Amino acid sequence: MTSGKEDARKRLMQMFSGQDAATDAPVGTALLPVSSMADARTGQLGALRGDVKITIQTRQAQLLLTGREPTPERPNRVMGLMQFSKYLGQIAAAAKEDDPWADWTMVLLEEKLEAAQAFIEKQQANVQRTLGSNPLLDIQVAESLAPMRVSIGFASSHAYWVARVITEYDTLVRMVLTARHTSLIDQEMANVLLNDAAKVIRRVFESTARYRQTYVSRADVAAGTELARKAAEIMGDVPDGILDKSRRAKFSPSGVASSPQAGQQMVRTAPADGDVLIAEGTA
């Protein structure tokens, strides 16, 4: 346990190094009135509320964010984060109810997310070297004249991770299109770069395809119930490390409690009635 805490502390130090300390500002205006310390002890605090916005500059990244419903001209549906986030919310809810298959699915999801993020960052570095290959040619990466700024709110922490990876893909697309426009790479090379990067994000979307909500728990697995047996037939046997919780996703939700405990307030991004993706117009 100590090593895990030390690793987390080290990663926090790396993340915060060089950042200026921000001053906390009061959030919200409604207060919970209490007349005594006894009332303060039993008073129920409201859920934490915040706002997250994402900026997208390319059509390729927009498609990964919003997806596309089938049309007569394009009968194949394209999965995007809007649709995928709903599956993630269901899986996170099942994990809270001690569904080991949900926990296992989130571990596999994080593996795909880490691989996608690493691949896109590597390709960004490769294309950046190409853009700077001629010291006498100062090439600035193209930017959209009217980027899309979108408010997002998800029930699952992993959905925000996916959104972050999509923004990295958006940057890569701009870099690749700039390199193609300035004749540093040809169209076929650009297609390979963009398709390969999009595929690693699609693999993230596909990582949860095997999961089925069966309302099974670790107690069912331990007791060998019919419910657990059917779940294993559908999704395979859960690894031991998942069953004993020695192997969990970094962003696994904590178990459901009957009431919020100290230090465990729920954080939501407005609005609170499910996942949202609202375009606010162009900048």
Do 89 and 156 touch, CB atoms closer than 8 A? yes
Nearest alpha-carbon partner for 162 in 95, 235, 66? 66
pLDDT of residue 51: 78
pLDDT of residue 25: 42
To the nearest 10°, report the CA torsion of 189, 194, 200, 206. Answer: -120
pLDDT of residue 155: 83
| Unique residue bearing structure tokens 């993630």 | 88
- Per-residue confidence of the chain (283 residues) as pLDDT tens digits? 456 778 878 877 887 776 654 444 444 455 556 566 666 666 677 766 777 899 999 999 999 999 988 888 888 888 899 899 999 999 999 999 999 999 999 999 999 999 999 999 999 999 999 999 999 999 999 999 999 998 888 888 899 999 999 999 999 999 999 999 999 999 999 999 999 999 999 999 999 989 999 899 999 999 999 999 999 999 999 999 999 998 988 888 876 433 333 333 333 333 333 444 434 444 3
CA atoms within 13 Å, Cβ hemisphere of 83: 16
Backbone phi, psi, residue 12, to 5°: -65, -40
pLDDT of residue 102: 94
Tell me how crowded residue 252 is: count the other CB atoms within 10 A of its CB.
Answer: 18
What is the C-alpha separation between 250 and 128, in angstroms, rounded? Answer: 31
pLDDT of residue 41: 65
User: E strand or H helix at 109, and its extent?
Assistant: helix 100-131
pLDDT of residue 239: 92
| Unique residue bearing structure tokens 């939700």 | 253
pLDDT of residue 26: 45
Task: Characterize the bridge pairing of strands 267-269 and 48-50.
Answer: parallel
DSSP assignment of 9-66: HHHHHHHHTTPPPPPP----S-----SSHHHHHHPPPPPEEE-EEEEE--HHHHHHHH
Sign of the Cα torsion 104, 246, 154, 158 reads: negative
CA atoms within 13 Å, Cβ hemisphere of 65: 29
